[in-house]
Structures are given as C-alpha cells and as structure tokens.
Amino acid sequence: MKEKKVAIIICTYNQEKLVKECLKSLKSKTEYKNYRVYFVDDSGTEEISKRMKKEFKWINETSNKKNLGFSKSNNIGIKKAIKEYNPDYFILLNDDCEIIEKDWLSKIVGVGEKDKNIGILGCNIRYPDGTLQSLGGYLHGWKIDLELKENKKEIFEVDHVMGACLIIKKEVIKDIGLLDEVYSPYLLEDTDYCLKAKKNMWKVISIPQVKIIHKKGKSIDSQENERRLLIRFKNDIIFSRKHLRGFNKFFRIFLYLPLVAISRKKKDTGGFDLKNISIRTNFIRNLSLWFTAFFPKKYNKILKS
C-alpha cells in the first residue's frame, strides 16, 4: 500500500542549533519515506534560513520578514504544503524536538488510518532525561490537566495534545481551518485547536507507544519575564472566554490567573502543595499585567515594543 503523504512543519525563532539537531534526527531516524519538511524561519531575517538551505537541501524553506509567532508561522507552512504537496497529514514539530524511533511516523499514520473519525494525534513527549513531559490531557472544569500516568500502553482519547508534536489530518483542516492566530505569538493555540476539533466531532488521540524528546527545560517559572507573563494572561483570558462557561470561566480568569501573578511553584510538581508555593516579589507589577491583558490596545502596544 502506498504511504500517505505527510508534511512536517518546523518553525524556529533564533534557535539554529536546536533546529539543526531536530532535522538531523528526523532524517537519520525516520524510516517512513513519503514526507516533506516545510521549514519556516520566524527570526525576522533570512540568515538562518539561508544557512539551513545550504546544509539541508531536502527541506522547503520560508523566511518571515518579522517575528510572527507560533500559530502564524505554522499556518504559513501549512498553506504552502497544501499548495505544493496536498498532504494527508500535517505534523507541527517544535524545533527543539528530537526523533529517537525509526518507526515513529509509520506508527502515527497507522493509528490515524484505523479510524476515519480520528482527526488529531499526539504522542509520548519526553524530557531529555527520559522522564515524561506529556501524553496529552483534559479540560476538567477550569483546569487544563496533563495526562502523566506512565502505565498507559494503548492509544486513548484526550481533550488536547501538546503542540510540540501535533499531528492533524487534512480533513480536519478542511473542516475547521487553521490555527487561531489570535493566540500569537504563542501559548494555548494547540489546546484551542484540539478542543475546536472535538466540538466538531473529531477524536483527539494520544499514542503512548511513540516517543519523542522535547528539549524544553523543566523549570516552570517562565513568568519572571514581564512580556511572557502578559502573553500568558492575554491568551489565557481569550481561551477561557472561548471554551469555559459560568463559574469555571469566572474562577480561571478572576481567581486562578491573579494567583499565578502573585505566587509561583518552587518545583514543577503535578499537584497543589502549599509548601511548594512562594510569593513573587514583583506581584503588584504582575497583577497590573493581568489587568492590562483585558485591553487589546494596551497589551498589543506592549507586545510590539
């Protein structure tokens, strides 16, 4: 049987070393043949793209004239792939991922072909030290939970999968469109897309048998940077308004997010533990950023500065 066509979209923002490692692992560890790589340089210059094209002649490259963010850059890659290749599957692969299993792609496509109602697939995302990062997750009330049980052996349904390796069938894109660019530059666009697909009766599946490495750091306190924190608040408010109802929406926006502004986890643990919580020294400034996130003109001015 002829292999299904797969487009792998890889975007980068000033991460030349990581994306080179990603592409090398992809080429050397993928036994599946019928795929093309669409590389989008989102760094705002053509320098990385030029060097990548010289070293990796087998990729299809695009350069953004300015930094557009995750959803916009992936949408550019998807649209180009549709025009030039018309693939059956699209894989959004982070530039800091490493492929470690030769049959990873054949397994993913094999699962996708078993059920026409499967629309989105994810896999077993691991930290570089081999510990579990994500198997997807669920929307429970106001909480966006991750599935972190190591005993998962068979494919199972989830509400969302991690955007580090997000596999989408072409029928889903035809049905619900591309990633929502309102989440630019990054954060929650993957969860939003999965939930939108589920609302349109598509299954979202996690494949624990397929493992890849995601070189994301274990430190969860990325909120020390004011710009990142503003992005977090802005996108979380948009997401909550879109997907939550009643008390859950109120709780996440007006209680949970201010708590994020005020406090932080000392260690990245799954559960809530008061001993693991500390108060941020700049919590007043953080609360002002949370308030700013309700006003698009104000936060857009800060994000563009």
Lowest mean pLDDT across 8-12, 23-27, 62-66, 266-270: 266-270
Does residue 1 form part of some domain? no
Token output for 49 = 């793209």
- Residue 21, classified by CB atoms within 10 Å of its CB into exposed (0-12), middle (13-18) or buried (19+), is middle
Predicted local distance difference test score (pLDDT) of residue 272: 52
- The pLDDT of residue 268 is above 70: no
Can you tell me the distance from the alpha carbon of 34 to that of 101, in angstroms, rounded to the nearest whole number? 17
Q: How confident is the model at residue 286 (pLDDT cuts 50, 70, 90)?
A: very high
Q: How confident is the model at residue 304 (pLDDT cuts 50, 70, 90)?
A: confident
Same domain, 292 and 162: no
Can you tell me the distance from the alpha carbon of 101 to that of 89, in angstroms, rounded to the nearest whole number? 19
Same domain, 150 and 236: no
Domain boundary, last residue among 196, 214, 232? 214
Token output for 124 = 């077993």
Residue 211: name the closest of 75, 56, 104 by CA. Answer: 104
Same domain, 191 and 231: no
Terminal C-alpha separation, the chain = 53
3-state DSSP of the chain: CCCCCEEEEEEECCCHHHHHHHHHHHHHHCCCCCEEEEEEECCCCCHHHHHHHHHCCCCEEEECCCCCCHHHHHHHHHHHHHHHCCCCEEEEECCCEEECCCCHHHHHHHHHHHCCCEEEEEEEEECCCCCEEECCEEEECCEEEECCCCCCCCCEECCECCCCEEEEEHHHHHHHCCCCHHHCCCCCHHHHHHHHHHHCCCEEEEEEEEEEEECCCCCCCHHHCHHHHHHHHHHHHHHHHHHCCHHHHHHHHHHHHHHHHHEEECCCCCCCCHHHEEECCCHHHHHHHHHHCCCHHHHHHHHHC
226-243 helix and 189-199 helix, angle to the nearest 10 degrees: 10
Question: What is the tally of structural domains in the chain?
Answer: 2
Per the prediction, the chain carries an average pLDDT of 92
Domain boundary, last residue among 190, 214, 238? 214
Predicted local distance difference test score (pLDDT) of residue 278: 84
Same domain, 163 and 250: no
Task: Find the mean pLDDT for residues 289-305.
Answer: 88
Same domain, 276 and 239: yes
Same domain, 178 and 240: no
- The pLDDT of residue 193 is above 60: yes
Same domain, 68 and 151: yes
Can you tell me the distance from the alpha carbon of 10 to that of 83, in angstroms, rounded to the nearest whole number? 17
Does residue 169 form part of some domain? yes
Q: How confident is the model at residue 266 (pLDDT cuts 50, 70, 90)?
A: low
Same domain, 107 and 230: no
Token output for 128 = 């570089």
- pTM score of the predicted model: 0.93
Predicted local distance difference test score (pLDDT) of residue 47: 86
Can you tell me the distance from the alpha carbon of 137 to that of 150, in angstroms, rounded to the nearest whole number? 13
pLDDT tens, residue by residue, 72-107: 999 999 999 999 999 999 999 999 999 999 999 999
Same domain, 179 and 295: no
- The pLDDT of residue 217 is above 70: no
Predicted local distance difference test score (pLDDT) of residue 205: 98
Token output for 269 = 């643990």
Does residue 82 form part of some domain? yes
Can you tell me the distance from the alpha carbon of 225 to that of 171, in angstroms, rounded to the nearest whole number? 39
Q: 158 lies in which domain range?
A: 6-214
Same domain, 267 and 195: no
Q: How confident is the model at residue 186 (pLDDT cuts 50, 70, 90)?
A: very high
Lowest mean pLDDT across 28-42, 140-154, 223-237: 223-237
- The pLDDT of residue 221 is above 60: no
Does residue 86 form part of some domain? yes
214 forms bridges with which residues in the sheet?
Answer: 97
Residue 12: name the closest of 54, 56, 61, 58 by CA. Answer: 61
Same domain, 87 and 199: yes
Does residue 240 form part of some domain? yes
- At 171, which CATH number? 3.90.550.60
Same domain, 210 and 229: no
Domain boundary, last residue among 162, 186, 214? 214
Q: Find out whether 164 and 125 touch, Cβ atoms under 8 Å.
A: yes
Lowest mean pLDDT across 142-151, 158-167, 195-204, 206-215: 142-151
